[in-house]
Amino acid sequence: MEKLITSFTERKSFEELLLAEVKVLKSMAKHFVNEKDEMEDLVQNTLLKALRFYEKFSMDTDIRKWLYTIMRNTFINRVNKTSRVMEHHTQIEIAFKNSCSVSTVFSKFISDDLHQVINSFPYHVRQAITMYNAGYKYREISVATAQPIGTVKTRVRTARMILEKKFSLTAH
């Protein structure tokens, strides 16, 4: 019979087990993502889910296998959500490119420059600013990309600062 965590001391023991596995989790994350920020986010999300669902952990279970399963599922869910969001954005971009609502050549040049700068951003920053500009709230972006809300806010802020610097009147 499984021995589930039921007491405060067992919870503390579980937390100590988790802390001992952080280095291993970082190593596991390298198999799923390449960028350091994404690895840290994946480890953080894995730890948060493990803490949230600690009562489902059995002390008879190998914690590494359990954490690996959580990490794998977190990664797969993130990829699936990102794919759906990117598919939606691709449809929006196609609709935008097919519309002829831009009335002046000047606006066209600014739009082209803006898209060129945004496209030069790393993928995760470009994704955050694109979704934010499409009207998504920080929390919605966080859920869709499986990233912590603080990470999303930082990415949007970084993109906005770069754009502001690039397109400010005093920059030229």
Interval 95-138: pLDDT, tens: 455 544 444 433 444 466 677 788 888 888 888 888 888 888 88
CA dist 37 and 154 (Å) reads 12
Secondary structure, 3-state, the chain: CCCECCCHHHHHHHHHHHHHCHHHHHHHHCCCCCCHHHHHHHHHHHHHHHHHCHHHCECCCCHHHHHHHHHHHHHHHHHHHHHHHHHHHHHHHHHHHHCCCCCCHHHHHHHHHHHHHHHHCCHHHHHHHHHHHCCCCHHHHHHHHCCCHHHHHHHHHHHHHHHHHHHCHHHC
Q: What is the pTM of this model?
A: 0.45
Cβ–Cβ under 8 Å, residues 145 and 81: yes
* Predicted local distance difference test score (pLDDT) of residue 135: 83
Please give the single-letter amino acid code of residue 30.
K
Res 86: pLDDT = 59
Q: Which residues, listed in sequence order, are joined to residue 58 by a DSSP beta bridge?
A: 4
In this prediction, the residues of the chain whose per-residue pLDDT falls under 50 are 1, 5, 95, 99-110, 170-172
Q: Which is it for the CA torsion 90, 92, 93, 97, positive or negative?
A: positive
Query: Which positions ≥6 away from 71 have C-beta within 8 Å?
Result: 25, 28, 29, 32, 42, 43, 46
pLDDT for 62 equals 85
Per-residue model confidence (pLDDT) at position 108: 46
**Positive or negative CA dihedral for 24, 27, 29, 31?**
negative
